[in-house]
Amino acid sequence: MKRKEAPASATVAHKVLNNNVVISVDNAGQERVLMGRGLGFQLQPDQPIDTTKVEKTFVLDHGGDGDHARAVLTNASYAVIEAVTAAVDEAERSLGRSLGRRLPLAVIDHIQFVLERLIDGVRIPGASMPELRVLHPQEFAVATAMARSIGAGLGTELPEEEAVFLTMHLLNATRDEPNGTAALLFRRVQHVIATVELGLGVKLDPDSPDYARFILHIQFLLQRLVAKSMLRGADTSFFEYAKHSYPRSYAIANDVKAYVSAATGSELTDEELLYVIVHVERLANQMLPSETGDAVLP
């Protein structure tokens, strides 16, 4: 689905989805979704469309994607469509690039779902995903602004976790790597963090500088692995020292190594493993005993 196409040749109604959304067919046989308040009111197929009422235009894809777009735009309130498209326009200006054809539809669908759940008194819990703030600060900031803008446009306050969901939508729209590489990389970083937290028996402090350093190190490690440019060193003495001096951190690093091997089919070098050990040990050294005897991070 594509936004902001001129409706000049699409002036006859083909199908009226609701009072605000009409489908027309242009001279090339391309279906277009035209939107505007009252645009479809009492309009019949084959009647001319009042193009002065057209506020937004989408070009429909063929096949299943087009069917899905029609269903979403039929069910979504026009207030949601207005609020989302305005927020997406502002996000494109902030990021300085197009966010693609599918993002507005995906966000409209998502926000409509959220609003329906809130009306029913159901709030679906979402993870805070603090890794996003470290790995993708620009997209996270833009997504936070989008959530506020959409909420303001709808006269409601969206749950805080919506910034997380919108960040993921932005990442899917702005990353050009094949096969969803950006999202895959993020999930792998999350899994490594979970592995370390399990080994240490704590929830790491996402505001800690050491946490940020570790997150970035794991990201670069995974990127080096994909690029087949992992760190290698001839001197193994420091690795052997760390291995024997920090047995718990070494065990956790080995769990990370096992996960990376299973997920990617590549083995971490001892040099890469050494830096994981050092980072884990640094995180472990932040831990303080709590009153319950469990380890916590300040």
Q: What is the pLDDT of residues 136-150, one digit of tens each?
A: 889 999 999 999 999
Cα 230 from chain centre:
27
179 versus 38: the higher-pLDDT residue is 38
Q: Is the model's pLDDT at 93 over the cut of 90?
A: yes
Domains in the chain, CATH or no CATH each:
2-73 (2.30.24.10), 78-174 (1.10.1790.10), 179-296 (1.10.1790.10)
Question: Do the bridges between strand 13-18 and strand 21-25 make them parallel or antiparallel, or are there none, so unpaired?
Answer: antiparallel
Percent of the chain whose pLDDT exceeds 90: 23
pLDDT in tens, 205-264: 887 778 888 887 888 788 788 777 777 776 678 889 889 999 999 999 999 999 999 888
Rounded to the nearest integer, the mean pLDDT of the chain is 80
pLDDT of residue 63: 62
- Average confidence (pLDDT) over 156-184: 73
DSSP designation for 14 = E
Closest CA to 192 of 171, 212, 218, 228: 218
pLDDT in tens, 16-55: 888 888 888 777 777 788 888 888 788 887 788 888 888 8
pLDDT band at 280 (very low <50, low <70, confident <90, very high): very high
pLDDT of residue 210: 81
Residues in the chain: 298
Write down the H helix ranges in the chain: 64-75, 78-95, 103-119, 131-135, 137-154, 162-174, 181-200, 209-227, 237-245, 247-264, 270-284
**Its pTM surpasses 0.85:** no
Residue 32: beta bridge partners? 24, 59
